Structure 1
């Protein structure tokens, strides 16, 4: 189970329990899981076993998958987005992960910066890059080395199942959005 799905379990249990008007004590009696443990699960301070999760779902009259399903909408506030800056100064911000295998990223590549090689993704994975500002060179490694220079407004779709790297040959920062789509 992904950590995002695990974080969704606690609030989903609490919401379903509230919907049914069931107290923690009643849920504890129905599942054999202590009230304290249930409270910690609902507050995402404790992960639970599959057996406990199934017992809780059964007591709440739902399938476990219903408690883990993606919400119909998802909001990521700017201050809550996951941010990583590497040694070259390139910043990667995770804007959204709407479902497994799909990720929307924002890259900020300083003038003259170059990434280390990105490892090959799983077979048939594609990346779609859209350059918002500046210039970028996208290079693939291996037997069929390719290099593509992109500018503001350009959109580039590429298989990402080979090593690749990004660099900014310009004198201004490059800002881009990247959509990564991996087959399930």
Structure 2
């Protein structure tokens, strides 16, 4: 039987938010302490925990680093999986992802399905995104700004057409089978630019270990 992705809709009471709050409480961290570690406003963290703000890759990355855990561990909590018990970082490890598997987090503009969450300490974070926003205004209303996160990102269009916006370049339309590789610290957004499903595969370099190491040095 094919396993369906675990999906969380952030327009309803948020299980992801509950997982973040439970982990924060388990670690004995206050909202202010997480704010200091992540650079996110206390109000933003509170909204994330209550399911009133979109949990983008950017926020997921900084929250997991601020809590001092690997992103895959947090995703494992979101998906009620045993990701935190995944294979250690040793040579020869692997994970096979079957169609329909993954941990899916739904926001207004995107449904992001994170892949290979069972592997901890990955150098890459692969995900599939179903894009729904059609205007940059709609995107900004949902996320508050363009998305930024450290590292680099490779994006390949799986289905439909995507309009790719960045803060330094004019928007460009990407068709199925086309791709873009970019500095993901540059503000960016993906918009649906054709009728029907608009889907992409993104592979991001993971900043988790470097950020966590920096946090541990400060303690």
Shorter-chain TM-score range: 0.5 to 0.7
Q: For 2:129, which of 95, 107, 125 is the aligned residue? A: 107
Report the TM-score, using the length of structure 2 for normalisation. Answer: 0.47
1:95 match = 115
d(CA) in 2 for partners of 1:135, 1:172:
9
Q: Is 1:126 the equivalent of 2:152?
A: yes
1:80 CA displacement? 4.6
Q: Greater strand percent: which structure? A: 1
Gaps of 5+ in 1: 13-67
| One of 166, 184, 198 as aligned partner of 1:160 | 184
Q: 1:1-184 maps to which residues of 2 (within 5 A)?
A: 1-2=69-70, 3=73, 6-8=84-86, 68-70=88-90, 72-78=93-99, 80-88=101-109, 90-96=110-116, 99-110=121-132, 112=134, 115=139, 116=143, 117-122=145-150, 125-141=151-167, 144-182=168-206, 184=210
Question: For the residues of structure 1 that align with 2:165 and 2:180, how far apart are their CA atoms?
Answer: 12
TM-score by length of 1: 0.55
1:135-177 residue CA offsets vs partner (Å, 9 max, x unmatched): 1011112xx2432210011011111112211101212221111
**Consecutive aligned runs of 4 or more in structure 1 exceeding 6 Å deviation:** none
- Alpha-carbon distance in 1 for matches of 2:184, 2:160: 22
Displacement of 1:100 in angstroms is 3.0
Distance 1:119 1:168 in 2: 16
Contact 1:92–1:106 (CA under 8 A) maintained in structure 2: yes
Shift of 1:178: 0.7
Q: Which runs of 5+ in 2 are unaligned?
A: 1-68, 77-82, 211-219
Greater C-alpha Rg: 1
Partner-residue secondary structure (3-state), 1:69:
coil
Structure 1 residue 69: deviation in Å?
Answer: 2.6
Q: Distance in 2 between matches of 1:87 and 1:162?
A: 22
User: Deviation at 1:126?
Assistant: 1.2
Whether the 8 Å CA contact 1:110–1:172 is kept in 2: the answer is no
Q: Which residue of 1 aligns with 2:27?
A: none
Task: Tell me the C-alpha RMSD between the 2 structures.
Answer: 2.8
Question: How far, CA to CA, are the matches of 1:112 and 1:162 in structure 2?
Answer: 20
